[in-house]
Amino acid sequence: MSDTNGKSIPADKLVRVTFQPEGRTVEFEFGTMPYQHHGKPMSFLDVAENHDVFLDHACGGVCACTTCHLWIKDQAGISEADDDEIDRMDMAADQQLNSRLGCQAVITRPGNYEVEIPKWNRNYVSEGKPLTLAEEK
């Protein structure tokens, strides 16, 4: 496996994140991604920002809103939600058992992860970045 720069990634250090519904998968070596100051280091928001995947985050990733609300397919390898995130999630629409804030859910080990940005939570233009999905009907 190799990252977006063509660098070979050892299988035991590979992180693969697929963002749905776009179906965009990014790969990188665990522990090597530079921190972009969007959410917690190694959060799904941080991964998205590092790999030019659009994930709205109106508050800048400081757990002050719910625009980066995600549904995480499998919570294994993801940090536990802290009290601040749990309190903030009380305001999120359509909460599910797998709901997390992208700025707070941190990848804690190598592995495969799949997250979905809920349809109602996708903002087609934010911070000058258009979402690259075909318009849904």
36, two tokens = 């972009």
Higher-confidence position of 1 and 125: 1
Band of pLDDT at residue 10, cut at 50, 70 and 90: very high
Determine the Cα–Cα distance for residues 63 and 130; give it in Å rounded to an integer: 23
Sketch out the chain's domains with CATH numbers.
15-119 (3.10.20.30)
Question: Tell me, what's the pLDDT at 37?
Answer: 83
Nearest partner of 131 among 119, 105, 35, judged by Cα: 119
The pLDDT of residue 112 is above 80: yes
Question: Tell me, what's the pLDDT at 132?
Answer: 47
How much is the mean pLDDT over the chain?
Answer: 86
117, two tokens = 């940005």
Residue type, 52: D
Please spell the DSSP secondary structure of 55-105, one letter per residue: ---TTSSSSSSSTTEEEES--TTBPPP-HHHHHHHTTSTT--TTEEETTT-
Check if the beta carbon of residue 2 is closer than 8 Å to that of residue 8: yes
Phi, psi values for residue 88, rounded to 5°: -70, -40
Question: Tell me, what's the pLDDT at 2?
Answer: 55
Least confident residue range of 46-50, 76-80, 97-101, 127-131: 127-131
The pLDDT of residue 4 is above 60: no
For the full predicted model, state whether its pTM sits above 0.75. Answer: yes
